[in-house]
């Protein structure tokens, strides 16, 4: 242990010989007890100027250490204060190194050494827990191995001591412990730590020692906290899983179970499992009792992404700071179908796409963030696109969190480039230049645009105005369907079925563009199913009618204005005068713009069957009036999350001889879950695109071929575009950085030449 030269002096019964080092709570000196000659390490804290928090932590460390006498815990000798106002803690002097320093040298440890480390750490923790002490900061820097090979627990400054005057050192919401090794309950800021919290942290430390990195690696500390709460630990790499004893891997995984009841109940049980997994001299291992379910090659936890390659990931994340109303934030995220949690330090996050990918994750994340603005000080949305690296299936969540962190703003909702590309046709977005003083210069969403479907607001972004690839046959079928319905003045329907990203929305957009170029008149109504409103009757049609009438998506207009716009819609459609009042009134029931009560409304409001029939008649009257002068095209997206009443109404409108074409999109499971939906519709399954088509997409966006992207996209055109755009952005940033460096070098060279000329 290195000692810095210093003037020797006395401190209480100790003679200070030289400084060993300094930390957040004081300076540590090598010392000797004058009466006994016993060597010691003395940590000194000057009380003057120290915050109450630091003083309490120092006292807590001394209180915990003095109460423990165990070979695997650093021994404490004395705690006192001098007349000069210096607090000091005398401890045993250790010669060796911390696990953190050892891992810096070696990267990772052999399985046998990890087992030895784990067993000794468990012994120290068992002693602490038996004394009513929870360490709460088990990490590589707080595990020390002596020259004799003994591992010792250090630094009880964050310990939770039972029956003390103040059982918790930190205030709720303050960052406590080290993010990489925090248990989920610590990451959430919950004040419920117990011995299993320490065992979780020890499991994370052993994972790091065995693998060479923490189990929830992410670009930022907040990203790690989000991953700890949201993700499973990274799988053990194949080389580690093949070489390490299966019982060791299983013991570590059980220590890091998210549910505390599923972790090791006591450190002795964890130690026993490690002992039974210890490699034997003959190269064999003993299988730990109770761990028979463990396998030598654990199966990674991989979300289902609509049949896409397991490597493909697309996650959007909402990150908030300064959360003033946690319940409001959680409600806003969950209403949009996301997973949410509040973290330590007044932060919170919501994830979209972690367990299931529906294709509209970025949009739902932004909508949730807009709703949550009143409950937070700053909020941002980031989107991770690409594939997980080296089997680390949580890497994208961490990348998306880092992206969201980089765009946190106090006004509006900050969005990164990937999110902006997904949603810019759905929301009002201020450019970076519009940022106020002191605000980050990033794009920010201020409000949602009027609702609508693919025709008016194609979600994908401007880059998709380029020619469509690989779906010409399907587009030709849709055009033929329309032409037959228009010629024969009858209804027809097509149902586009496919996994997320397969091009359903793009086909609708192309169809809408083609309709706009026709000479004959047509009227398009567009709506979308909404997972957050799948149990609200007629939500899909409310969406479509609000867009057609020019009403605000969230119903923010005055009631009188909403009723006026509905009446104007009915009048302009040409609904007969004797039907106009009831038609507008029941369309008002559908969109939530209630008209003054009439006998017909009173009866319908009291009887759901009557209301259903009246809404059907109102929509039928509107479509008949529109169809008298033009062919009506209904583009209804995401029917797999539409409410049942909306689907029933769609079926009803297809009955009879009215010039109406319905084009619906849905995930394939719609047919199995709702087999009676649109029975007469023409089914069009959108399968994976060919490699040739994917190469064209990649070349269009990247400017060159990239077979690796084609392989990763797994036949999905959306992911091919996203991966290509991500690669292009990375290359452009690299080129920009290189150009900037070259310009700086040139300027420096010019300045040097000018200086030389002046000197001569």
Which CA distances in Å does 625 have to 159, 485, 577, 614? 74, 17, 11, 16
CA distance 348 to 341: 6
In 3D space, the residue among 20, 202, 18, 188 whose CA is nearest the CA of residue 97 turns out to be: 20
Torsions phi, psi for 381 (to 5 deg): -125, 130
CA distance 647 to 663: 13
CA distance 587 to 618: 6
- Classify 703 as helix, strand or coil: coil
Tell me which of 10, 80, 83, 137 is the catalytic residue. Answer: 137
Find out whether 634 and 453 touch, Cβ atoms under 8 Å: no
Pairing of β 160-161 and β 143-146? unpaired
Give the 3-state secondary structure of 21-85.
EEECCEEEEEEEECCCCCEEEEEEEECCCCCHHHHHHHHHHHHHHHCCCCCCECCEEEEEECCCC
Active-site annotation holds for 552: no
373: which residues sit within 8 A by CB, 6+ positions away?
379, 412, 413
State which H helix or E strand residue 445 sits in: strand 444-448
Interior/surface letters 210-226, b for 16+ CB within 10 angstroms, e for the rest = bbeebbbbbbbebbbbb
759: which residues sit within 8 A by CB, 6+ positions away?
none
Q: Which residue has the tokens 């991953």?
A: 227
CA distance 661 to 664: 10
Instruction: Rounding to the nearest 10 degrees, give the CA dihedral for residues 23, 25, 31, 36.
Output: -140
The residues with which 315 forms a beta bridge, in sequence order, are 384
CA distance 681 to 389: 42
Instruction: Give residue 345's region: left, alpha or beta (phi > 0; psi -120 to 50).
Output: left
The tokens for 560 are: 């009188």
CB neighbours of residue 574 within 10 Å: 14
Which CA distances in Å does 156 have to 80, 100, 184, 317, 493? 17, 17, 20, 35, 69
Find out whether 412 and 374 touch, Cβ atoms under 8 Å: no
According to DSSP, residue 265 is labeled S
Find out whether 324 and 376 touch, Cβ atoms under 8 Å: yes
Residues present in the chain in total? 760
Q: Give the CB-side neighbour count of residue 626, counting CA atoms within 13 A.
A: 22
Q: What is the CA radius of gyration of the chain?
A: 33
CA distance 155 to 169: 14
Cα first-last separation, the chain: 55
Pairing of β 96-98 and β 143-146? antiparallel
576: which residues sit within 8 A by CB, 6+ positions away?
621, 625
The tokens for 592 are: 């939530």
According to DSSP, residue 257 is labeled -
State which H helix or E strand residue 598 sits in: none
CA distance 492 to 658: 9
The tokens for 79 are: 């705690």
Q: Give the CB-side neighbour count of residue 472, counting CA atoms within 13 A.
A: 4
Find out whether 451 and 638 touch, Cβ atoms under 8 Å: no
Q: Which residues are catalytic?
A: 137
């Amino acid at each position: 242990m290195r000692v810095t030269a210093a003037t020797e002096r006395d401190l209480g019964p100790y003679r200070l010989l030289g400084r060993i080092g300094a930390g957040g709570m004081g300076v540590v000196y090598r010392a000797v007890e004058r009466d006994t000659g016993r060597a010691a390490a003395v940590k000194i804290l000057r009380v003057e100027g120290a915050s109450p928090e630091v003083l309490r932590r120092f006292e807590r460390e001394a209180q915990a250490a003095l109460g423990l006498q165990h070979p695997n815990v650093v021994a404490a000798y004395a705690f006192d204060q001098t007349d000069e106002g210096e607090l000091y803690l005398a401890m045993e002097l250790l010669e060796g190194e911390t696990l953190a320093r050892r891992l810096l040298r070696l990267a990772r440890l052999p399985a046998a050494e990890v087992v030895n480390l784990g067993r000794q750490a468990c012994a120290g923790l068992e002693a602490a827990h038996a004394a009513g002490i929870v360490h709460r900061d088990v990490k590589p820097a707080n595990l020390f191995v002596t020259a004799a090979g003994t591992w010792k627990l250090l630094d009880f400054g964050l310990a939770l001591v039972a029956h003390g005057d103040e059982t918790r050192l930190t205030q709720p919401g303050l960052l406590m412990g080290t993010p990489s090794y925090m248990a989920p309950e610590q990451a959430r800021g919950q004040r419920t730590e117990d011995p299993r919290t320490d065992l979780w942290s020890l499991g994370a430390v052993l994972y790091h020692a065995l693998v060479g990195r923490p189990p929830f690696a992410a670009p930022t500390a907040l990203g790690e906290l989000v991953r700890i709460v949201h993700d499973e630990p990274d799988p053990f790499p194949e080389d580690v899983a093949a070489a390490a004893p299966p019982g060791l891997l299983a013991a570590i995984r059980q220590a890091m179970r998210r549910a505390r009841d599923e972790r090791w109940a006591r450190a002795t049980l964890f130690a026993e499992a490690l002992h039974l997994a210890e490699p034997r001299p003959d190269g064999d291992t003993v299988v730990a009792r109770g761990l028979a379910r463990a396998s030598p090659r654990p199966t990674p936890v991989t979300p289902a992404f609509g049949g896409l390659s397991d490597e493909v990931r697309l996650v959007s994340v909402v990150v908030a700071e300064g959360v003033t109303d946690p319940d409001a934030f959680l409600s806003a995220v969950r209403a949009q179908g996301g997973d949410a949690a509040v973290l330590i330090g007044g932060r919170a996050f919501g994830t979209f796409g972690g367990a299931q990918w529906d294709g509209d994750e970025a949009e739902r994340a932004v909508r949730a963030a807009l709703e949550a603005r009143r409950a937070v000080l700053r909020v941002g949305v980031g989107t991770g696109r690409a594939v997980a690296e080296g089997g680390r299936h949580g890497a994208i969540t961490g990348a998306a969190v880092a992206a969201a962190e980089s765009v946190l703003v106090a006004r509006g909702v900050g969005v990164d480039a990937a999110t902006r590309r997904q949603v810019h046709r759905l929301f009002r977005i201020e450019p970076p230049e519009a940022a106020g003083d002191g605000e980050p210069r990033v794009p920010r969403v201020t409000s949602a645009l009027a609702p609508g479907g693919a025709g008016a607001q194609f979600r994908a972004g401007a880059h998709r105005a380029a020619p469509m690839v690989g779906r010409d046959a399907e587009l030709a079928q849709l055009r033929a369907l329309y032409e037959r319905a228009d010629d024969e003045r009858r209804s027809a329907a097509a149902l586009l079925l496919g996994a997320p990203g397969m091009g359903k929305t793009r086909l609708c957009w192309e169809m809408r563009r083609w309709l706009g170029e026709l000479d004959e008149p047509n009227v398009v109504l567009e709506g979308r199913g909404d997972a957050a409103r799948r149990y609200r009757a007629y939500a899909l049609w409310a969406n479509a009618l609000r867009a057609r009438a020019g009403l605000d998506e969230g119903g923010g207009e005055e009631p009188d204005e909403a009723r006026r716009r509905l009446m104007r819609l009915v009048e302009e459609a040409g609904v007969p005068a004797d039907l106009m009042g009831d038609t507008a009134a029941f369309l008002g029931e559908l969109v939530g713009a209630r008209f003054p009560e009439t006998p017909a409304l009173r009866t319908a409001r009291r009887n759901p069957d009557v209301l259903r029939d009246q809404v059907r008649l109102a929509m039928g009257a509107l479509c008949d009036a529109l169809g008298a002068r033009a062919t009506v095209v209904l583009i209804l997206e995401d029917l797999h999350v539409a409410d049942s009443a909306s689907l029933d109404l769609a079926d009803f409108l297809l009955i009879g001889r009215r010039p109406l074409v319905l084009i619906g999109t849905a995930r394939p499971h719609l047919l199995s879950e709702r087999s009676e939906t649109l029975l007469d519709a023409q089914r069009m399954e959108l399968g994976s695109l060919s490699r040739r088509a994917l190469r064209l997409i990649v070349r269009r966006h990247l400017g060159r071929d990239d077979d690796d992207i084609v392989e990763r996209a797994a036949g999905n055109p959306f992911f091919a575009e996203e991966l290509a755009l991500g690669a292009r952005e990375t290359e452009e940033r690299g080129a920009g950085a290189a150009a900037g460096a070259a310009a700086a070098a040139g300027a420096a060279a010019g300045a040097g030449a000018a200086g030389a000329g002046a000197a001569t």
